[in-house]
Amino acid sequence: MTGTRIPAIGLIDRGQKLSFRWQGETLTGFAGDTLASALLANGVRVVGRSFKYHRPRGIFAAGAEEPNAILDVWHNSQNDPNARATLVPLQDGMSARAISGWPSLNFDAFQGLDLLHRFLPAGFYYKTFMAPDWHRYEPNIRRMAGLGTAQKTPDTRHYETRHAQVDVLVIGAGPAGLAAARAAAAGGRSVMLVDENPQFGGSLLWGDATINGQIGTAWARDTTASLAASGAQLLPNTTAFAYYDQNTIGLMEHRSHAASGWAEDRLWSVLAAEVVLATGAIERPLVFPNNDRPGVMLASAVLRYLRQYGVLVGKSVVLTTNNDSAYETATALLAAGGQVAVADVRAEPGPVANAAQAAGARVYAGSVVLNTGGLGGIAWADIGPADATSQRNATSRIGCDIVASSGGWTPVVHLFSQSGGKLRWDETLSAFLPNTGRQAHQLAGSMAGWQSLAECLASGHKAGGSHGEAPVTAIARLPTPLQPYWHVPITGARQWLDLQNDVTVKDVGLAARENFQSVEHLKRYTTLGMATDQGKTSNVNGLAVMAELTGRTIPETGTTTFRMPYTPVSLGAMAGMRHGDLYAPKRQLPAQSEHDAAGALMREYGGWMRPACYPLPGETEAQAVQREARLVRTNGGLFDGSSLGKIEVFGADAAKFLNLIYYNEVANLKPGRLRYVLLLRETGIIYDDGVIARVAEDRYLLSPSSSHTAGVLAMLELWHQTEYPSMDVAFHDVTAAWATIAICGPRVRDILATLATDIDLSDAALPHMAMAHGRIMGIQARVARVSFTGERSYEISVTAGHGAALWRHLLAQGPTPYGIESLSILRGEKGYILIGTDTDGLTMPDDLGMSGPLRAKKVDFVGKRSLTTPDGARPDRRQFVGLLPEQPGFVPMVGTHAITDGPTRRSLGWITTAAHSPTLGRSFALGMIEGGRAHMGETVTLFDRGKTSRATICSPVFHDVEGAKLHG
């Protein structure tokens, strides 16, 4: 046991005790604890096993940079399988487990891998575990690495998205951010202030500063309160994870820690006129041998656990450092009754070191930790000269339970870089600082390179616009300069760089030797910086080592590209409400209630919920489909075609314009007549088919297919607006305003006779492919005589609100309601194509045998030129044909290839539609076959998943070849 809670210090609420479980054992903590601070307070040392070598690991840091304490956390029956314990506010009833270590954390069967570490360097999986098939090893290697398992029960968390627009978005509520928000609010601007922690204050929460005469925590609290009172939006527990274009920021608000208790992540998309980046800096460790044991921590983390959470992580602490900041930890530890030794690599550590020495710390100048040891943790540390070349150069062995280091501070420039900003290396600070930015932002505090509190406050005040009084604090003495120190110059013992991915200095050496010297290659080859901590404590150390090994400067080596997210974000939050029924909008037919009443099996087709079929009680879908297809031809059929598009086209130039767009001649269509047309793309490929009706000299009604209505409308607008803007024509999408019910079959004229209408439905007045208007049962209506089944067919359109009643009336006359699936058989056996089923992204009109309209049409139209390109004229183009399988009971699968016979098989095309037809009493198919029309009557081999069969190429019209039924 090392960590203990000490009295009278910390910002936790000792009045609110919380109970939680760790590895099945019940422990206690307080409101205000994180899971990490509570574990430390309970003396927990080991929280996991390292990724590759399965070495025991403990809590290392106190913030988002934590690499080791990745735990499987359950609360309120929701799970975060890879939660960073330092960012999880403790809650009553929470339960946490380690994600690595089998069968147990303390006795891991794979810990022997550490003994084999020489055979498991970076990239070992590119050289070993390859024969005979690397797929065999990979799952096992992954399992051994150990990461949390996702819950198998549904995720019932509420995820939500919010958009916001604000004058000033301040990211980071430490001293600089608070000063900036305060100034911006004083200037009358709308302000949003966010911080990833539950409490605002940042480093003030573990510092001992005085601002405007108040202690830092009190100033932070009061500033927060006055910001709230001024109307600023305050978002704690909120990570700014991405900086997008044009000052759009992605925020993830973790509301699972809200007082309401129920879990929710809220994604914000904020458009800010100005962003203030006050994201602070993260301490990086010194790199020394065996620097990965449980008990090795960041010096600032030790300080934070003490001052913010009242946890003394160890009684006897060895600090090793190259700069002044570790001494604040030293003096705080001494004040709390701890023992402290400091190994400072600088030969002359300076005044703060002297002060610490005076307070009781043992300070070793020009020294560093050369080794650590202890079973399952730390029991001792060896100290020796900073320029030691061997661990045998150690001069003292100090008994201790914690070794904490400070190697300098890395400004958090992630969002700045994401925004397109460029960095520069500052030699004095040994840090990458923002150099040139590209978006509308201000920089404040330590992320911009300011070191003292006074400078941070001043820069924040300025970034917020300098309104109101600047906060005042004592000017600190200049620190003794940091001495760059990237690793102990010995060979032999491993020195860790990336704790989460188990990457050492040796691995960087290996990468350098194998010529993976670019920093981007270094990252991918060694995986340094690729874990969920994204190298927050290891990237700079790693590239500095690479620079040294390859004789380059650090700026020459550079950094890898910063990408969102800054910390992991849940997929659920990114999806927001777009899941389940709300995933994609589905359109509903006006007569839906009637289909429900008839027991329809509804399915989504092209964005509309439509009846697939209407199974009778006890019928399977296949049986229903066969029954419907049979009865439509013998009894008559009723079909809801309301989803078919309806676009009204109006204007003096309507005919001229449409003629420039469509494949077919449409200007000579007489009022009251319909024509089947194709719509091509400029590439000559068929985009849609449909029916055009001429309503009047200057008015047409277009009927695109259901799934292409929006696309056709968009295409008309595009051509009108960009190519033919002077033409007098306009387009209105009225699809949803009309219900269209199709009635067809042998009894259709009798059924129509039951409609009270003023429309002349005689063949003379309404021949096939004609349209008439009038009233049906008192309601405005349209009747079009057009068929997709090959039967005599009428499409009756009434305004949508009357659709259900029209269906009911027609159904009462006895026709069989039929759905999409049986329609496919009916149209299929008539050789009527379905765009996107029988055609694909290469099909041109002549492939379907529809070159007549091209010959007849004189004007240019969309796609015309492409029809006469070499590709359009190729003789081996696939052509639309029918196929009769040799076995009449065999229905080939759609997609089955027709292949050449002989030793080298080649595909000649494939089947696009296939079904059993009750009318034909056998199977039939449609397909696209190379030069198909020239091979009528010939048989061809079909190939499907290893099995072959034969089929005869024939006309695609199998039933009623003369088309007599249309007029019967």
Partner 1 sequence: MLNIPCPHCGPRSEYEFQFGGEPATRPIPASEVSDAQWSDYLYARTNIKGRNRELWCHSGGCGQWFLMERDTVTHEIFRTETIGSGTIGA
Partner 2 sequence: MADLATLSIAEQLGLTEADPLRLVAVPGQFLVSGAHDLPANSVADIEGGYACWLTPRRRLVVSATPPAGFASDISHGVAVFSIDPAHDTDFVAMGCALPPTALAEGKCAQTVFAGLKLLLYRRHGLLHLHVERSLAPHILAWFRQAATAL
Q: Which residues bind partner 1 (CB under 8 A)?
A: 163, 244-248, 269, 271, 420, 438, 682-683, 714, 717-718, 721-723, 725, 860, 864-866, 869-870
In this structure, what are the phi and psi dihedrals at residue 733, rounded to the nearest 5 degrees?
-85, 110
Q: What does the buried/exposed string (b/e) look like for 194-225 if buried means 16 or more CB atoms within 10 Å of the residue's CB?
A: bbbbbbbbbbbbbbebebeebebbebbbebbe
800 binds partner 2 (CB under 8 A): yes
Please provide the DSSP assignment of 144-194 as one string: HH--PPPPSS----EEEEEEEEEEEEEE--SHHHHHHHHHHHHTT--EEEE
736 binds partner 2 (CB under 8 A): yes
- Residue 802 binding partner per list partner 1, partner 2, none, with a CB distance cut-off of 5 to 8 Å that depends on partner kind: partner 2
776 binds partner 2 (CB under 8 A): yes
- Residue 435 binding partner per list partner 2, partner 1, none, with a CB distance cut-off of 5 to 8 Å that depends on partner kind: none
Q: Is 152:81 a contact under the CB 8 Å cutoff?
A: no
777 binds partner 2 (CB under 8 A): yes
Quickly count: other Cβ atoms within 10 Å of residue 712's Cβ.
22
CB nearer to partner 2: pick between 404 and 800:
800
- Residue 478 binding partner per list partner 2, partner 1, none, with a CB distance cut-off of 5 to 8 Å that depends on partner kind: none
**Minimum distance, C-beta of residue 824 to partner 2, in the bound complex (Å):** 22
CB nearer to partner 2: pick between 663 and 700:
700
**Minimum distance, C-beta of residue 865 to partner 1, in the bound complex (Å):** 4
Of residues 421 through 440, those in contact with partner 2 by CB under 8 A are none
773 binds partner 2 (CB under 8 A): no
Token match 């387009």: residue? 731
738 binds partner 2 (CB under 8 A): yes
167 binds partner 2 (CB under 8 A): no
Of residues 866 through 925, those in contact with partner 2 by CB under 8 A are none
Site stretch for partner 2 (CB under 8 A), options 328-336, 467-475, 776-784, 827-835: 776-784
Interhelix angle 519-526/539-549, nearest 10 degrees: 110
**Minimum distance, C-beta of residue 803 to partner 2, in the bound complex (Å):** 8
245 binds partner 2 (CB under 8 A): no
590 binds partner 2 (CB under 8 A): yes
How many residues in the shown chain lie near partner 2 by CB under 8 A? Answer: 52
581 binds partner 2 (CB under 8 A): yes
Query: How many angstroms separate the CA atoms of 313 and 402, rounded?
Result: 7
DSSP letter, residue 495: B
Q: Which residues contact 903 (CB under 8 A, 6 or more apart)?
A: none
In this structure, what are the phi and psi dihedrals at residue 858, rounded to the nearest 5 degrees?
-95, -35
Q: What distance, in Å, lies between the first and last C-alpha atoms of the chain?
A: 94
CB nearer to partner 1: pick between 718 and 961:
718
| Of residues 430, 386, 463, 387, the one with CA closest to residue 187 | 463
Query: How many angstroms separate the CA atoms of 418 and 891, rounded?
Result: 56
Site stretch for partner 2 (CB under 8 A), options 125-133, 667-675, 798-806, 898-906: 798-806
CB nearer to partner 1: pick between 208 and 871:
871
- Residue 585 binding partner per list partner 2, partner 1, none, with a CB distance cut-off of 5 to 8 Å that depends on partner kind: partner 2
**Minimum distance, C-beta of residue 873 to partner 1, in the bound complex (Å):** 10
271 binds partner 2 (CB under 8 A): yes
**Minimum distance, C-beta of residue 371 to partner 1, in the bound complex (Å):** 50
CB nearer to partner 1: pick between 244 and 380:
244
CB nearer to partner 1: pick between 247 and 518:
247
709 binds partner 2 (CB under 8 A): no
Binds partner 2 (CB under 8 A): choice among 154, 551, 585, 617: 585
Site stretch for partner 2 (CB under 8 A), options 529-537, 644-652, 836-844, 895-903: 644-652
Binds partner 2 (CB under 8 A): choice among 524, 552, 809, 933: 809
CB nearer to partner 1: pick between 868 and 948:
868
- For residue 798, give the amino acid letter: V
| Of residues 430, 479, 483, 433, the one with CA closest to residue 453 | 479
577 binds partner 2 (CB under 8 A): yes
3-state secondary structure of 588: strand
Query: How many angstroms separate the CA atoms of 161 and 735, rounded?
Result: 31
CB nearer to partner 1: pick between 48 and 863:
863
| Of residues 314, 316, 319, the one with CA closest to residue 300 | 319
Q: Is 881:929 a contact under the CB 8 Å cutoff?
A: yes
Q: Is 673:769 a contact under the CB 8 Å cutoff?
A: yes
Interhelix angle 216-229/175-186, nearest 10 degrees: 30
Interhelix angle 175-186/453-463, nearest 10 degrees: 30
- Residue 723 binding partner per list partner 1, partner 2, none, with a CB distance cut-off of 5 to 8 Å that depends on partner kind: partner 1
CB nearer to partner 2: pick between 268 and 450:
268
CB nearer to partner 2: pick between 422 and 578:
578
735 binds partner 2 (CB under 8 A): yes
Binds partner 2 (CB under 8 A): choice among 73, 341, 388, 806: 806
CB nearer to partner 1: pick between 138 and 717:
717
- For residue 520, give the amino acid letter: E
Binds partner 2 (CB under 8 A): choice among 582, 812, 934, 961: 582
**Minimum distance, C-beta of residue 662 to partner 2, in the bound complex (Å):** 20
- Residue 380 binding partner per list partner 2, partner 1, none, with a CB distance cut-off of 5 to 8 Å that depends on partner kind: none
Please provide the DSSP assignment of 55-98 as one string: -EE----SSTT--S-EEEEEETTEEEEEEEGGG-B--TT-EEEE
Structure tokens at 414: 């992630």
702 binds partner 2 (CB under 8 A): no
- Residue 244 binding partner per list partner 1, partner 2, none, with a CB distance cut-off of 5 to 8 Å that depends on partner kind: partner 1
- Residue 866 binding partner per list partner 1, partner 2, none, with a CB distance cut-off of 5 to 8 Å that depends on partner kind: partner 1
Q: Which residues contact 257 (CB under 8 A, 6 or more apart)?
A: 89, 91, 198, 237
Give the chain's largest Cα–Cα span: 114
Structure tokens at 814: 């006895």
Quickly count: other Cβ atoms within 10 Å of residue 385's Cβ.
17
Please provide the DSSP assignment of 427-476 as one string: TTTTEEEEEE--SSEEE-GGGGT--SHHHHHHHHHHHTTS-SPPP-BPPP
- Contact residues: partner 2, CB under 8 A: 158, 160-165, 264, 269, 271, 577-578, 581-582, 584-590, 592-593, 608, 643, 648, 650-651, 730, 732, 734-738, 754-756, 776-779, 798-806, 809
